[in-house]
Amino acid sequence: MPIPEFVTYCRNVFIPVTNICRNRCGYCGFRRDPDDPQAQLMSVDEIIPILKKGYESGCTEALFTFGESAEEVPEYRYWLYEMGYSSTVEYVMELCETAIDNGLLPHTNAGVLDKKQLTMLKPLNASMGLMLETISKLDAHENSPGKIPEKRIETIKLAGQLKIPFTTGILVGIGETANNRIESLNEIKKLHEKYGHIQEVIIQNFTPKPETPMSNYPSPSLSTISETVSYAREILPDDVTIQVPPNLTDPYLLIKNGASDLGGISPTTIDWINPESEWPDIVELENIIPDIPLKERLPIHPKYIQKGWYSDRLNKIIDNLADENGYRKT
Protein backbone atom coordinates (compact mmCIF):
# COMPACT_ATOMS: atom_id res chain seq x y z
CA MET A 1 0.00 0.00 0.00
CA PRO A 2 1.64 3.32 -1.03
CA ILE A 3 1.53 5.89 1.78
CA PRO A 4 -0.68 8.94 1.14
CA GLU A 5 0.84 12.27 0.11
CA PHE A 6 -0.81 13.86 3.15
CA VAL A 7 -3.25 12.98 5.90
CA THR A 8 -6.30 15.20 6.30
CA TYR A 9 -8.38 16.26 9.28
CA CYS A 10 -11.10 18.78 10.04
CA ARG A 11 -11.27 21.12 13.04
CA ASN A 12 -14.73 20.97 14.52
CA VAL A 13 -17.04 21.57 17.42
CA PHE A 14 -19.07 18.54 18.46
CA ILE A 15 -22.57 19.49 19.61
CA PRO A 16 -24.66 16.70 21.15
CA VAL A 17 -28.01 18.37 20.49
CA THR A 18 -30.10 15.62 22.05
CA ASN A 19 -29.40 12.22 23.55
CA ILE A 20 -33.04 11.17 23.38
CA CYS A 21 -33.37 8.30 20.92
CA ARG A 22 -35.96 5.76 19.81
CA ASN A 23 -33.25 3.08 19.44
CA ARG A 24 -31.35 1.12 22.06
CA CYS A 25 -28.12 0.02 20.43
CA GLY A 26 -26.29 -2.47 22.66
CA TYR A 27 -23.01 -0.52 22.42
CA CYS A 28 -24.31 3.00 22.94
CA GLY A 29 -23.33 5.07 25.97
CA PHE A 30 -24.73 8.29 24.50
CA ARG A 31 -28.46 7.64 24.63
CA ARG A 32 -30.50 8.57 27.74
CA ASP A 33 -34.04 7.81 28.83
CA PRO A 34 -36.16 10.97 29.14
CA ASP A 35 -36.36 10.65 32.95
CA ASP A 36 -32.56 10.39 33.31
CA PRO A 37 -31.00 13.47 34.93
CA GLN A 38 -28.53 13.60 32.01
CA ALA A 39 -31.24 13.54 29.33
CA GLN A 40 -31.03 16.70 27.27
CA LEU A 41 -32.19 18.81 24.41
CA MET A 42 -29.73 21.67 24.09
CA SER A 43 -31.13 25.16 23.58
CA VAL A 44 -29.92 27.68 20.99
CA ASP A 45 -28.60 29.81 23.86
CA GLU A 46 -26.46 26.91 25.09
CA ILE A 47 -25.16 26.21 21.59
CA ILE A 48 -24.20 29.76 20.51
CA PRO A 49 -21.21 30.09 22.89
CA ILE A 50 -19.88 26.70 21.71
CA LEU A 51 -20.08 27.88 18.09
CA LYS A 52 -18.40 31.20 18.89
CA LYS A 53 -15.58 29.58 20.83
CA GLY A 54 -15.11 27.06 18.01
CA TYR A 55 -14.88 29.79 15.38
CA GLU A 56 -12.37 31.70 17.49
CA SER A 57 -10.30 28.51 17.86
CA GLY A 58 -10.10 28.09 14.10
CA CYS A 59 -12.81 25.44 13.64
CA THR A 60 -14.64 25.10 10.34
CA GLU A 61 -17.30 22.51 11.16
CA ALA A 62 -20.28 22.41 13.50
CA LEU A 63 -21.04 18.71 13.98
CA PHE A 64 -24.61 18.31 15.18
CA THR A 65 -25.31 14.87 16.61
CA PHE A 66 -28.66 13.50 17.73
CA GLY A 67 -30.34 10.42 19.01
CA GLU A 68 -32.47 9.04 16.22
CA SER A 69 -36.13 9.97 15.62
CA ALA A 70 -36.40 11.39 19.13
CA GLU A 71 -39.88 12.62 18.20
CA GLU A 72 -41.11 9.11 18.87
CA VAL A 73 -40.45 9.85 22.56
CA PRO A 74 -43.40 11.91 23.93
CA GLU A 75 -41.37 13.84 26.54
CA TYR A 76 -39.02 15.04 23.81
CA ARG A 77 -41.90 16.24 21.67
CA TYR A 78 -43.08 18.27 24.62
CA TRP A 79 -39.61 19.80 25.22
CA LEU A 80 -39.33 20.73 21.56
CA TYR A 81 -42.80 22.27 21.64
CA GLU A 82 -41.88 24.26 24.78
CA MET A 83 -38.85 25.64 22.89
CA GLY A 84 -41.17 26.70 20.07
CA TYR A 85 -40.50 24.08 17.40
CA SER A 86 -42.89 21.60 15.89
CA SER A 87 -40.32 19.14 14.55
CA THR A 88 -36.68 18.14 14.98
CA VAL A 89 -35.91 19.10 11.39
CA GLU A 90 -37.30 22.58 11.93
CA TYR A 91 -35.04 22.88 14.97
CA VAL A 92 -31.99 21.50 13.15
CA MET A 93 -32.57 24.09 10.42
CA GLU A 94 -32.49 26.84 13.04
CA LEU A 95 -29.26 25.41 14.50
CA CYS A 96 -27.64 25.20 11.07
CA GLU A 97 -28.61 28.84 10.38
CA THR A 98 -27.05 29.80 13.70
CA ALA A 99 -23.84 27.92 12.89
CA ILE A 100 -23.66 29.64 9.49
CA ASP A 101 -24.24 33.05 11.11
CA ASN A 102 -21.25 32.26 13.30
CA GLY A 103 -18.98 31.32 10.39
CA LEU A 104 -19.11 27.53 10.71
CA LEU A 105 -20.16 24.88 8.19
CA PRO A 106 -22.86 22.53 9.49
CA HIS A 107 -22.55 18.73 9.31
CA THR A 108 -25.68 17.01 10.62
CA ASN A 109 -25.59 13.42 11.86
CA ALA A 110 -29.17 12.74 12.92
CA GLY A 111 -29.86 9.10 12.12
CA VAL A 112 -32.24 7.91 9.39
CA LEU A 113 -34.12 10.70 7.62
CA ASP A 114 -36.71 10.70 4.85
CA LYS A 115 -36.56 12.54 1.55
CA LYS A 116 -38.48 15.55 2.77
CA GLN A 117 -36.25 15.97 5.80
CA LEU A 118 -33.07 15.62 3.74
CA THR A 119 -34.39 18.12 1.21
CA MET A 120 -34.97 20.66 3.98
CA LEU A 121 -31.50 20.16 5.44
CA LYS A 122 -29.46 20.03 2.24
CA PRO A 123 -29.16 23.79 1.61
CA LEU A 124 -27.97 24.39 5.17
CA ASN A 125 -25.39 21.60 5.41
CA ALA A 126 -21.90 21.40 3.91
CA SER A 127 -22.13 17.64 4.29
CA MET A 128 -24.23 15.15 6.21
CA GLY A 129 -23.63 11.73 7.66
CA LEU A 130 -25.14 8.43 8.63
CA MET A 131 -23.12 5.39 9.57
CA LEU A 132 -24.33 2.27 7.78
CA GLU A 133 -22.82 0.48 10.85
CA THR A 134 -23.28 -2.96 9.27
CA ILE A 135 -25.29 -4.60 6.55
CA SER A 136 -26.07 -7.62 8.71
CA LYS A 137 -28.74 -8.23 11.32
CA LEU A 138 -27.00 -8.24 14.70
CA ASP A 139 -28.05 -8.74 18.33
CA ALA A 140 -26.57 -5.30 19.13
CA HIS A 141 -29.39 -3.82 17.03
CA GLU A 142 -32.30 -6.00 18.12
CA ASN A 143 -33.92 -3.03 19.92
CA SER A 144 -33.04 -0.48 17.26
CA PRO A 145 -35.61 -0.15 14.48
CA GLY A 146 -33.48 2.57 12.89
CA LYS A 147 -30.55 0.21 12.45
CA ILE A 148 -32.35 -2.09 10.05
CA PRO A 149 -29.81 -2.09 7.20
CA GLU A 150 -32.41 -1.42 4.48
CA LYS A 151 -33.52 1.78 6.23
CA ARG A 152 -29.96 3.07 6.51
CA ILE A 153 -29.22 2.20 2.90
CA GLU A 154 -32.40 4.06 1.88
CA THR A 155 -31.28 7.27 3.66
CA ILE A 156 -27.80 7.07 2.10
CA LYS A 157 -29.40 6.51 -1.31
CA LEU A 158 -31.75 9.50 -0.94
CA ALA A 159 -28.81 11.69 0.09
CA GLY A 160 -27.11 10.58 -3.13
CA GLN A 161 -30.12 11.46 -5.24
CA LEU A 162 -30.13 14.89 -3.61
CA LYS A 163 -26.37 15.34 -4.20
CA ILE A 164 -25.48 15.78 -0.54
CA PRO A 165 -21.74 15.25 0.15
CA PHE A 166 -21.92 12.33 2.52
CA THR A 167 -20.07 10.58 5.33
CA THR A 168 -20.84 6.98 6.16
CA GLY A 169 -18.98 4.09 7.65
CA ILE A 170 -19.00 0.84 9.54
CA LEU A 171 -18.73 0.07 13.21
CA VAL A 172 -16.24 -2.75 13.73
CA GLY A 173 -16.47 -5.25 16.58
CA ILE A 174 -20.19 -5.31 17.39
CA GLY A 175 -20.69 -8.99 16.64
CA GLU A 176 -20.27 -8.96 12.86
CA THR A 177 -17.99 -11.36 10.98
CA ALA A 178 -15.06 -10.39 8.75
CA ASN A 179 -17.20 -11.38 5.80
CA ASN A 180 -20.04 -9.10 6.98
CA ARG A 181 -17.62 -6.17 6.98
CA ILE A 182 -16.66 -6.86 3.39
CA GLU A 183 -20.33 -7.05 2.43
CA SER A 184 -21.00 -3.71 4.15
CA LEU A 185 -18.10 -2.07 2.31
CA ASN A 186 -19.34 -3.49 -0.98
CA GLU A 187 -22.77 -2.00 -0.35
CA ILE A 188 -21.21 1.44 0.26
CA LYS A 189 -19.19 1.00 -2.92
CA LYS A 190 -22.37 0.25 -4.88
CA LEU A 191 -24.10 3.35 -3.50
CA HIS A 192 -21.14 5.55 -4.41
CA GLU A 193 -20.87 4.10 -7.90
CA LYS A 194 -24.51 4.95 -8.47
CA TYR A 195 -24.64 8.45 -6.90
CA GLY A 196 -21.03 9.62 -6.45
CA HIS A 197 -21.69 11.31 -3.12
CA ILE A 198 -19.64 9.38 -0.55
CA GLN A 199 -16.72 11.60 0.40
CA GLU A 200 -15.46 9.52 3.29
CA VAL A 201 -16.00 6.15 4.95
CA ILE A 202 -15.30 5.90 8.67
CA ILE A 203 -13.84 2.65 9.96
CA GLN A 204 -14.95 3.11 13.58
CA ASN A 205 -13.88 0.65 16.24
CA PHE A 206 -16.34 -0.28 18.96
CA THR A 207 -15.19 0.78 22.42
CA PRO A 208 -17.16 -0.63 25.38
CA LYS A 209 -19.18 1.79 27.49
CA PRO A 210 -20.06 1.26 31.17
CA GLU A 211 -23.65 0.38 32.00
CA THR A 212 -24.50 -0.77 28.48
CA PRO A 213 -25.42 -4.33 27.43
CA MET A 214 -22.03 -4.60 25.70
CA SER A 215 -19.91 -3.18 28.55
CA ASN A 216 -17.99 -6.48 28.84
CA TYR A 217 -17.67 -7.03 25.13
CA PRO A 218 -14.07 -6.73 23.88
CA SER A 219 -12.85 -3.96 21.57
CA PRO A 220 -11.70 -5.25 18.20
CA SER A 221 -7.94 -5.84 18.02
CA LEU A 222 -5.64 -3.50 16.12
CA SER A 223 -5.05 -6.28 13.59
CA THR A 224 -8.82 -6.59 12.96
CA ILE A 225 -9.09 -2.83 12.44
CA SER A 226 -6.07 -2.61 10.17
CA GLU A 227 -7.24 -5.60 8.14
CA THR A 228 -10.62 -3.85 7.74
CA VAL A 229 -8.91 -0.64 6.63
CA SER A 230 -6.94 -2.63 4.02
CA TYR A 231 -10.10 -4.23 2.69
CA ALA A 232 -11.85 -0.86 2.63
CA ARG A 233 -9.01 0.67 0.59
CA GLU A 234 -9.15 -2.26 -1.79
CA ILE A 235 -12.92 -2.26 -2.19
CA LEU A 236 -13.78 1.45 -2.25
CA PRO A 237 -13.13 3.70 -5.26
CA ASP A 238 -10.04 5.95 -5.00
CA ASP A 239 -12.05 9.14 -4.62
CA VAL A 240 -13.55 7.88 -1.34
CA THR A 241 -11.34 8.72 1.63
CA ILE A 242 -10.93 6.26 4.49
CA GLN A 243 -11.31 7.93 7.86
CA VAL A 244 -10.14 6.57 11.20
CA PRO A 245 -10.73 8.30 14.53
CA PRO A 246 -7.31 9.01 16.11
CA ASN A 247 -8.76 9.10 19.63
CA LEU A 248 -9.93 5.47 19.41
CA THR A 249 -6.84 3.79 17.90
CA ASP A 250 -3.27 4.65 17.06
CA PRO A 251 -3.70 5.85 13.47
CA TYR A 252 -0.16 5.19 12.26
CA LEU A 253 -0.53 1.56 11.20
CA LEU A 254 -3.99 2.31 9.78
CA ILE A 255 -2.54 5.04 7.58
CA LYS A 256 0.07 2.59 6.31
CA ASN A 257 -2.86 0.32 5.43
CA GLY A 258 -4.90 2.83 3.44
CA ALA A 259 -6.51 5.38 5.76
CA SER A 260 -5.78 9.01 4.90
CA ASP A 261 -8.17 11.05 7.03
CA LEU A 262 -8.55 11.55 10.77
CA GLY A 263 -12.02 13.10 10.72
CA GLY A 264 -13.14 15.80 13.07
CA ILE A 265 -10.68 16.83 15.76
CA SER A 266 -11.89 19.36 18.24
CA PRO A 267 -9.77 21.86 20.12
CA THR A 268 -12.70 22.92 22.32
CA THR A 269 -15.23 20.08 22.73
CA ILE A 270 -15.08 16.39 23.69
CA ASP A 271 -16.14 13.38 21.61
CA TRP A 272 -19.60 12.98 23.13
CA ILE A 273 -19.98 9.47 21.76
CA ASN A 274 -16.62 8.31 23.15
CA PRO A 275 -16.21 10.79 26.02
CA GLU A 276 -13.44 8.75 27.67
CA SER A 277 -11.23 9.06 24.57
CA GLU A 278 -9.52 12.42 24.36
CA TRP A 279 -8.51 13.82 20.98
CA PRO A 280 -4.80 14.22 20.42
CA ASP A 281 -3.90 17.77 19.40
CA ILE A 282 -2.31 18.51 16.05
CA VAL A 283 1.24 18.66 17.45
CA GLU A 284 0.78 15.23 19.06
CA LEU A 285 -0.52 13.89 15.76
CA GLU A 286 2.50 15.25 13.93
CA ASN A 287 4.64 13.24 16.33
CA ILE A 288 2.55 10.09 15.89
CA ILE A 289 2.68 10.46 12.09
CA PRO A 290 6.17 11.93 11.60
CA ASP A 291 6.73 11.05 7.95
CA ILE A 292 3.49 12.31 6.35
CA PRO A 293 2.34 15.93 6.42
CA LEU A 294 -1.06 16.74 7.91
CA LYS A 295 -3.45 18.91 5.94
CA GLU A 296 -6.56 20.61 7.22
CA ARG A 297 -9.77 20.28 5.20
CA LEU A 298 -13.34 21.50 5.54
CA PRO A 299 -16.34 19.21 6.24
CA ILE A 300 -17.03 19.34 2.49
CA HIS A 301 -14.16 17.71 0.61
CA PRO A 302 -12.36 19.57 -2.22
CA LYS A 303 -13.94 17.45 -4.94
CA TYR A 304 -17.45 18.49 -3.88
CA ILE A 305 -16.46 22.14 -3.59
CA GLN A 306 -15.17 21.91 -7.17
CA LYS A 307 -18.39 20.22 -8.29
CA GLY A 308 -20.40 22.98 -6.60
CA TRP A 309 -22.42 20.57 -4.45
CA TYR A 310 -23.39 23.27 -1.96
CA SER A 311 -25.99 25.97 -1.79
CA ASP A 312 -25.55 29.73 -2.14
CA ARG A 313 -26.13 29.98 1.60
CA LEU A 314 -22.66 28.50 2.13
CA ASN A 315 -20.80 30.50 -0.58
CA LYS A 316 -19.46 33.15 1.73
CA ILE A 317 -18.10 30.77 4.37
CA ILE A 318 -16.55 28.42 1.82
CA ASP A 319 -14.92 31.38 0.03
CA ASN A 320 -13.65 32.60 3.34
CA LEU A 321 -12.28 29.22 4.54
CA ALA A 322 -11.14 27.33 1.43
CA ASP A 323 -7.97 27.86 -0.61
CA GLU A 324 -7.86 27.46 -4.40
CA ASN A 325 -7.51 23.68 -4.03
CA GLY A 326 -10.45 23.33 -1.69
CA TYR A 327 -8.45 22.80 1.51
CA ARG A 328 -8.34 25.06 4.54
CA LYS A 329 -6.75 28.40 3.74
CA THR A 330 -3.54 28.86 5.71
Ligand X SMILES: O=c1nc2n(C[C@H](O)[C@H](O)[C@H](O)CO)c3cc(O)ccc3cc-2c(=O)[nH]1
Which residues fall in the annotated binding site for [4Fe-4S] cluster?
21, 25, 28
Instruction: Please state, in angstroms and rounded to a whole number, the distance separating the CA atoms of residues 269 and 160.
Output: 30
Would you count residue 106 as binding ligand MET (CB under 6 A)?
Answer: no
Would you count residue 296 as binding ligand X (CB under 6 A)?
Answer: no
> Which residue type occupies 256?
K
Instruction: Please state, in angstroms and rounded to a whole number, the distance separating the CA atoms of residues 145 and 246.
Output: 30
**Is the distance from CB of 164 to CB of 128 less than 8 angstroms?**
yes
For residues 102 and 205, which CB has a smaller minimum distance to ligand 5AD in the complex? 205
Instruction: Please state, in angstroms and rounded to a whole number, the distance separating the CA atoms of residues 137 and 147.
Output: 9
Would you count residue 273 as binding ligand 5AD (CB under 6 A)?
Answer: yes
Using the rule CB under 6 A, which residue among 96, 264, 305, 310 binds ligand X? Answer: 264
Under DSSP, is residue 157 helix (H, G, I), strand (E, B) or coil?
A: helix
Would you count residue 21 as binding ligand MET (CB under 6 A)?
Answer: yes
- Strand ranges (E), 189-287: 198-205, 241-243, 261-265
Using the rule CB under 6 A, which residue among 12, 184, 207, 249 binds ligand X? Answer: 12
Would you count residue 268 as binding ligand X (CB under 6 A)?
Answer: no
Would you count residue 134 as binding ligand X (CB under 6 A)?
Answer: no
Helix, strand, coil tally for the chain in percent (to 5): 40, 15, 45
End-to-end, the C-alpha distance of the chain in Å comes to 30
- Mark residues 186-225: x for contact with ligand X by CB under 6 A, - for none: --------------x-x-----------------------
Rounded to 5 degrees, what are φ and ψ at 135? -90, -5
Using the rule CB under 6 A, which residue among 61, 68, 133, 296 binds ligand 5AD? Answer: 133
Would you count residue 31 as binding ligand SF4 (CB under 6 A)?
Answer: yes
| Among ligand 5AD, ligand X, ligand SF4, none, residue 39 binds (CB under 5-8 Å by kind) | none
Residues 63-102 that bind ligand MET (CB under 6 A): 65-68
Using the rule CB under 6 A, which residue among 40, 87, 98, 109 binds ligand MET? Answer: 109
Task: Enter the DSSP assignment of 218.
Answer: P
